[in-house]
Amino acid sequence: MPGEPNQWSWFSAFRQDYREQFGFELLLADGNGEIIHGEVVPTDCACRSLNPKRRAEAARQTLYWGETVINLCCDEGYAMWAVPVMHNDEIMASLVVQGVDLEAGGHEYSARIQKAADELLARALQANLISRAAVTLARQRADLEKNRFYALENRKNFLSEDLRGHYLREEPALLSAIKQGDTGQARAILNRVLVSIYSVGGARMELLKSCVLELIVMMSRAAVEGGADPSTLLGANFRSLSELADIEDEEELAVWVRQMLDSLISAIGSNNRYPHSILLTRAISYMHEHLGENLRREEVARHAGLSAGHLSQIMLQHMGRSFSDMLTQMRVDRSKELLRQTDLTLTTIALESGFYDQSHLNKIFRKQTGESPGNYRKRYNSPK
C-alpha cells in the first residue's frame, strides 16, 4: 500500500486486471505526474510526450468531481483519464490511461471508454487506493453544483418569465377594455407591458424581437380564447409575423408592433361569439385582487354578474378547469411569486396567498409542484 516499503507492488496485478477487462494500458505516475511504472503506448499523436503535469492535474480533477474526468490529451483527438492514489488524504501517485483514440467514434465505443474510465475509479476505491469519504463528498458537492448550474441557467430565462407574468396580470383589464371598445385604455395597458419589454430587451434587437413576439403570441391566445377565429386571426397576421425576422432597426420594429397590436385589438374587439369571456375576465381579475381572502364561488360570480352555476360552467368551458382548481392554481402561483420575490415568512406567504396556514400551503404546494415551498425558494435564491 502507498506509504509502505514496496508500496507499488500491487500495481502490476492491478494493471494486468484492468488490461484484460477493458483493453487499456495503465501507467503509474508519481505526485508530479512523472511515470514510475508502465510505458506509454506509442500513438501517432502528441500524447507520447505529454506534459507530466497534465497527468497529475487529471487525477486531481477526478478527485475534485468524484467521478473520472475524461479529457483530451492532445489536439489530435486522443483522450486520457486518471485516478489518484492516496495515502491519508494526500495524493501520492496516479493511475493514468492516455493516448486513447476517439476518432474510432460511435456510441458503443464511447460507452466502452466511459465504462473503462468509471471502472478505474471503482476499482481504485475497492482496492482502498483512494479515500471513499473524499470521493463521496466530492460527488455530493458536484451534484449540488450541477443543480446550481441549472438554477443559474434558468434565472436567465427568468426575465421573459417575469414579462409573461406582467402581461398575464394586465390581461383581464386589457381584454375588458378592448371589449368595451375603450381602445385608449387598451393602448395604455399595452404600453405598460411594452415598457417592461424594452427595459429587458434594451438595445439588443434579437432579444427585443423575441419579447415582442411573445407578447403577440400571448395576445393571440387570448383572442382565440375569447372567441376569435384562429384561422382568420393567423391568416391576417401571418405575413407580418414572418416579416419580423427581417426587421433590423428600432423604428421599423415600433411600426410593426403598432400595426400588430392594433390588428389584435380589433380582432378581439370585433368578436361577440363568446360574450362570456368578458364576464370570465371580470371573475378572474376579481379573484386576483382577493386571493388572500376566503373567496367563495358565489361572491366571485356575483361580482362578474353571473350565477354561481353559470360561472363554473363557463370556467370549465373556457379554461378547462373547475372554479376550485382555478383558485388553487392561482393561489399556488401567488405563493411562488412571493417566495421568489420577497423575504416574507412562509406563514405570511400562506396567508397572503389565501391558505389557512403554513401547513395548508405546504400540503397544497407540494401536491401541485412536487416540492416544498422552502425548497422552491432555496432553488431560486441560492445562486445569488
Partner 1 sequence: MSKLEDLKTAVINGKRKDVKTIVPELLESGADPVEMLEQALIPAMSVVGERFKKNEIFVPEMLVSARAMKEAMKIIEPILIEAGVKPEFKALIGTVEGDLHDIGKNLVATMWKGAGFDVVDLGVNVSPAAFVQAIEEHSPHLVGLSALLTTTMPAMRDTVEKIRGAGHDKVKVLIGGAPVTLEFAREIGADGYASDAASAVDAAREILAS
> Could you say which of 21, 51, 114, 359 contacts partner 1 (CB under 8 A)?
114
Query: By CB neighbour count within 10 A (0-12 exposed, 13-18 middle, 19+ buried), where does 211 fall?
Result: buried
Matching residue, cell 406563514:
347
The full DSSP string for 97-135 is EEEEE-TT--HHHHHHHHHHHHHHHHHHHHTTSS-HHHH
Contact between 71 and ligand B12 per CB under 6 A: yes
Task: Kindly state the smallest distance separating residue 248's Cβ from partner 1, in Å.
Answer: 13
The full DSSP string for 59-79 is HHHHHHHTSPPPEESSTTSEE
Contact range with partner 1 by CB under 8 A, out of 198-206, 212-220, 298-306, 328-336: 198-206
Output 100 or 260, the one with its CB closest to partner 1.
100
Task: Kindly state the smallest distance separating residue 210's Cβ from partner 1, in Å.
Answer: 12
Determine the size of the site formed for partner 1 (CB under 8 A).
29
Contact between 72 and partner 1 per CB under 8 A: yes
Residues 286, 176: Cα–Cα separation, whole Å: 13
Contact between 67 and ligand B12 per CB under 6 A: yes
> Could you say which of 34, 90, 145, 325 contacts ligand B12 (CB under 6 A)?
145
- Give residues 247-276 in contact with ligand B12 (rule: CB under 6 A): none
In angstroms, the Cα distances linking 82 to 20, 55, 121, 136, 378 are 18, 7, 8, 17, 35
Q: Which does 321 bind (CB under 5 to 8 A by kind): ligand B12, partner 1, none?
A: none
Contact between 356 and ligand B12 per CB under 6 A: no
Output 36 or 137, the one with its CB closest to ligand B12.
137
> Could you say which of 27, 47, 58, 69 contacts ligand B12 (CB under 6 A)?
69
Describe the crossing of helices 230-244 and 250-269 by its angle, rounded to 10 degrees.
Answer: 180
Contact between 107 and partner 1 per CB under 8 A: yes
Which residue blocks in the chain are alpha helix, DSSP H? 11-22, 52-65, 107-126, 132-179, 183-201, 205-225, 230-244, 250-269, 276-289, 297-304, 308-319, 323-341, 346-352, 358-369, 373-381
Task: Kindly state the smallest distance separating residue 123's Cβ from ligand B12, in Å.
Answer: 18
Instruction: State the residue number with the nearest CB to ligand B12.
Output: 145
Query: What H or E segment, with its residue span, contains residue 91?
Result: strand 90-101
Contact between 197 and partner 1 per CB under 8 A: no
- Per the CB < 8 A criterion, the answer to whether 257 and 195 are in contact is no
Task: Kindly state the smallest distance separating residue 74's Cβ from ligand B12, in Å.
Answer: 13
> Could you say which of 19, 132, 155, 221 contacts partner 1 (CB under 8 A)?
155
Q: What residue ranges bind partner 1 (CB under 8 A)? A: 64, 70-72, 77, 79, 102-103, 105, 107, 109-111, 113-114, 117, 145, 148-149, 152-153, 155-156, 203-204, 206-207, 383-384
- Residues forming contacts to ligand B12 in the complex (CB under 6 A) are 61, 65, 67, 69-71, 145-146, 149
